[in-house]
Chains A and B, each alone.
Chain A
Amino acid sequence: MAVTGYLSEFALAELFNFLEQGNKTGLLTLCKLSDDQLQYRENHYIWFNQGRIVAAANRLDQHGLAYMIGQRGWLGEHTALRVAQTCDVSTPIGLSLKNQGLLTVEQLKLLFYTQVMRQVCTLFALKDAWFQFDCKAPLPFAEMTGLNAPATEVTLAALRVLKDWSALANKLPEPTSAVMSIIEGKPQQKLNQTEWQLWEFAKGTISLQEIAQQLQLPLEKVQQIAFRLVTAGLVEEVPLVTVITAHPKPEPLPMESAVPEATMLSHSFLHNLVGFLKGKV
């Protein structure tokens, strides 16, 4: 079943987290929305294999990588495609070219950086787009360098350089929330200094606004760092109980005073309840 939606509802960072955590394989299509119906609709395609990004392009003819190779003068575009056709159809074109001594490992890394890291990172600036993830789409071997990157690693890199956070404003953890680690041990990802600093507070007890004060960082910056760690799958946001000081104190609720703490229920009670409810099903 295809997963579809809009980035304004489910942000690209959330989507990448979902695809990585779910070890998804398939094609993610992003269709940029435009107010002008006549304007050319720009599509972006990102391929995933087991939750890792293996290729990206803005075309589906599988000539994107060959074109990039040709642009750099390393090999003619047609030559690259012809070589790819003579190779194993289930081998990424980048690996085929490397195996034949036509490209070096460094050149492949550069291609991957340009094709995936740079291209995909710019998509995080999109205010909105329609997306579809098709898990039945085949891998585009003629578009693949043979290198890959975990989706959340790309997210971290993209969000670190994101200038305009307005599209993510309602996704940021609340200033009154804390963050808590959801992994065992320390993160495997390469974190920067401020991310490590926030990580040290990931125990679910101190609010982001207090952390901001302690680290002497703007609150908004701390919220953004927290969002990065959340979407990297390292921590979760934990709302803390709001201390009501400026608001009026409400009357005590009936259950506060009259109802005792939750006590153990008898098995006969639970069996009777289930029996009663089954009569309603």
Chain B
Amino acid sequence: MEIMRLVVTGPVGAGKSTFIRSVSEIAVVDTDRRATDETALLKQKTTVAFDFGRLSFGPEMALHLYGTPGQSRFDFMWDILIQKAHAYILLVAAHRPSEFIEARRIRAFMRQRSPVPMIIGLTHMDVPEAWDLENAAIALGYLSTNKRPPIIAVDPTQTTSVAQAVITLVQHSMQAHLMPLS
């Protein structure tokens, strides 16, 4: 079985769960882990939930999608996810500039732990307050169009838009294998 694992990450409310739900062939699994060691007596649950979706496209071929927890205190979970991923998409709500700083934190975390290819998906671009693509790119720290990953607008509620985003990510991964990008 050949499996490609994509991580969908981003700040809270960027549309990660919706993104996975729009393209997954199975109901998205929302994982909630229970503590098993002695400290479980003190705290019953550790909420390290992440979303999981799957897309099979052949008898031995599948795409697995993992959504990271939206809050940075779950860093260890992100670490596990990114170490196993082939590529990731960073979703950023373009109408919430307050979250740009968190998106940069997430990207820095990911970049330090894994060199896998990534793209940025700007969501909520239809909202009047949304920043346009070029300004959002600058606010996310990408100053040169030549030295940045693909940045696309994506509507997580639309299967076609999500599929297009995944195509962009896969194609970028294919290029990255031929010509590694910084």
Q: Which residues of A contact B (CB under 8 A)?
A: 1, 3-5, 8-10, 14, 18, 21-22, 171, 174, 176-177, 180, 182, 204, 236-244, 246-251, 253, 255-256, 259, 261-262, 264-267, 269-270, 272-274, 276-278, 280-281
Min CB distance B158 to A, Å, is 10
List chain A residues, Cβ under 8 A from B74. Answer: 242
List chain B residues, Cβ under 8 A from A22. Answer: 135, 138, 143
User: In the bound complex, do residue A10 and residue B36 qualify as a contact, i.e. CB atoms below 8 Å apart?
Assistant: no
User: In the bound complex, do residue B76 and residue A241 qualify as a contact, i.e. CB atoms below 8 Å apart?
Assistant: yes
CA distance A30 to B63 in the complex (A): 48
List chain A residues, Cβ under 8 A from B97. Answer: 5, 9-10, 14
CA distance A215 to B109 in the complex (A): 25
Which of the listed residues B4, B108, B139 has the most CB atoms from chain A within 10 Å of its own CB?
A: B108
Q: Which residues of B contact A (CB under 8 A)?
A: 2-5, 23, 31, 33-37, 39-40, 42-43, 46, 48, 55, 57-58, 61, 63, 66, 72-76, 79-81, 83-86, 96-98, 100-101, 104-106, 108-109, 112, 116, 129, 131-132, 135, 138-139, 141, 143, 159-160, 163-164, 166-167, 170-171, 173-174, 177
User: In the bound complex, do residue A265 and residue B80 qualify as a contact, i.e. CB atoms below 8 Å apart?
Assistant: no
Which of B100, B160, B164, B173 is A10 in contact with, Cβ under 8 Å? B100
CA distance A264 to B141 in the complex (A): 30
User: In the bound complex, do residue B143 and residue A10 qualify as a contact, i.e. CB atoms below 8 Å apart?
Assistant: no
User: In the bound complex, do residue B96 and residue A9 qualify as a contact, i.e. CB atoms below 8 Å apart?
Assistant: yes
Min CB distance B145 to A, Å, is 12
CA distance A269 to B63 in the complex (A): 10
List chain A residues, Cβ under 8 A from B167. Answer: 274, 277-278, 281
CA distance A241 to B110 in the complex (A): 11
When C-beta atoms are compared, the residue in chain A nearest to B165 turns out to be A277
List chain B residues, Cβ under 8 A from A250. Answer: 33-36, 46, 48
CA distance A181 to B97 in the complex (A): 23
Q: A3-B135, A242-B75 are in contact. Are A261 and B84 (CB under 8 A)?
A: yes
Min CB distance A30 to B, Å, is 15
Min CB distance B173 to A, Å, is 7
When C-beta atoms are compared, the residue in chain B nearest to A233 turns out to be B141
Q: A237-B108, A266-B2, A277-B170 are in contact. Are A247 and B46 (CB under 8 A)?
A: yes
Give the 4 A-B residue pairs with the shortest CB-CB distance, closest first: A248-B35, A9-B98, A250-B33, A276-B57
CA distance A174 to B57 in the complex (A): 42
Which of the listed residues B48, B79, B97, B160 has the most CB atoms from chain A within 10 Å of its own CB?
A: B97
User: In the bound complex, do residue A239 and residue B33 qualify as a contact, i.e. CB atoms below 8 Å apart?
Assistant: no
Q: A10-B98, A281-B160 are in contact. Are A262 and B36 (CB under 8 A)?
A: no
User: In the bound complex, do residue A171 and residue B160 qualify as a contact, i.e. CB atoms below 8 Å apart?
Assistant: no
User: In the bound complex, do residue A262 and residue B105 qualify as a contact, i.e. CB atoms below 8 Å apart?
Assistant: no
User: In the bound complex, do residue A239 and residue B108 qualify as a contact, i.e. CB atoms below 8 Å apart?
Assistant: yes
Taking A239-B75, A250-B46, A262-B116 as known contacts, 13 extra A-B pairs with beta carbons closer than 8 A to each other, sorted by chain A number, are A5-B97, A8-B98, A174-B72, A204-B112, A237-B108, A241-B79, A248-B43, A255-B5, A262-B5, A269-B2, A270-B173, A272-B58, A276-B57
CA distance A239 to B108 in the complex (A): 7
Q: A171-B101, A269-B61, A272-B61 are in contact. Are A255 and B170 (CB under 8 A)?
A: no
User: In the bound complex, do residue B80 and residue A239 qualify as a contact, i.e. CB atoms below 8 Å apart?
Assistant: no
List chain B residues, Cβ under 8 A from A249. Answer: 35-37, 39
